[in-house]
Amino acid sequence: MSYFKIQQIGKVRIEEDSCFIELSKHYSPGLRHLQFFNYIFVLWWISMRDTSKDRSQVLAHPPNLDVEVETGVFACRSPARPNPIGLTKVKVLKIEGNKIFIDRIDAIDGTPVLDIKPYLPGDSVPIDEIKLPEWFDHLKDKK
């Protein structure tokens, strides 16, 4: 099995009344035309879980559950996983220079950002076609 090197391209910024992705100036031209999309995927580095203990975990307890379930790391979105890459779909509010203002993100201020991808029709699954285990029933409220 191989290893690969990834680099930070920017960071998450959480301020009192706004939340944005701040790209390194060098990457600003990479945002050209992003204003024509309204949703993006942000790939970020879960730096607080970049430890050998967390990265060797193969089972996890999904957070915010009423029941105690020990499930595979690939069957939940646990931040402790072999490659701590966070993936969040966010809404784009506006773009100013090297900053993408977004609605929210489940990452803390200063979190390294790895990639930005536009959300395309092929990424969508109709809500009522998504199958979930019973311990994720509470997520169905979001349906």
Subset of residues 59 to 78 that bind a second copy, contact rule: CB under 8 A: 59, 69-77
Compute the least distance from the CB of residue 22 to a second copy, in Å. Answer: 12
Q: Cα–Cα distance between 75 and 35 in angstroms, integer?
A: 33
Of 92-111, binders to a second copy (CB under 8 A) are none
Q: Tell me which residue of 140, 1, 137, 10 sits closest to 67, measured CA to CA.
A: 137
Tokens 């996890």, located at residue: 60
Nearer to a second copy, 16 or 74 (CB): 74
Q: Which residue has the tokens 């803390």?
A: 108
14 or 24: CB nearest a second copy? 24
Asked if residue 58 binds a second copy (CB under 8 A), the reply is: yes
41: contact with a second copy by CB under 8 A: yes
Q: Which of 4, 11, 3, 13 minimizes the C-alpha distance to 116? A: 11
Binding test (CB under 8 A) with a second copy, winner from 87, 94, 97, 103: 87
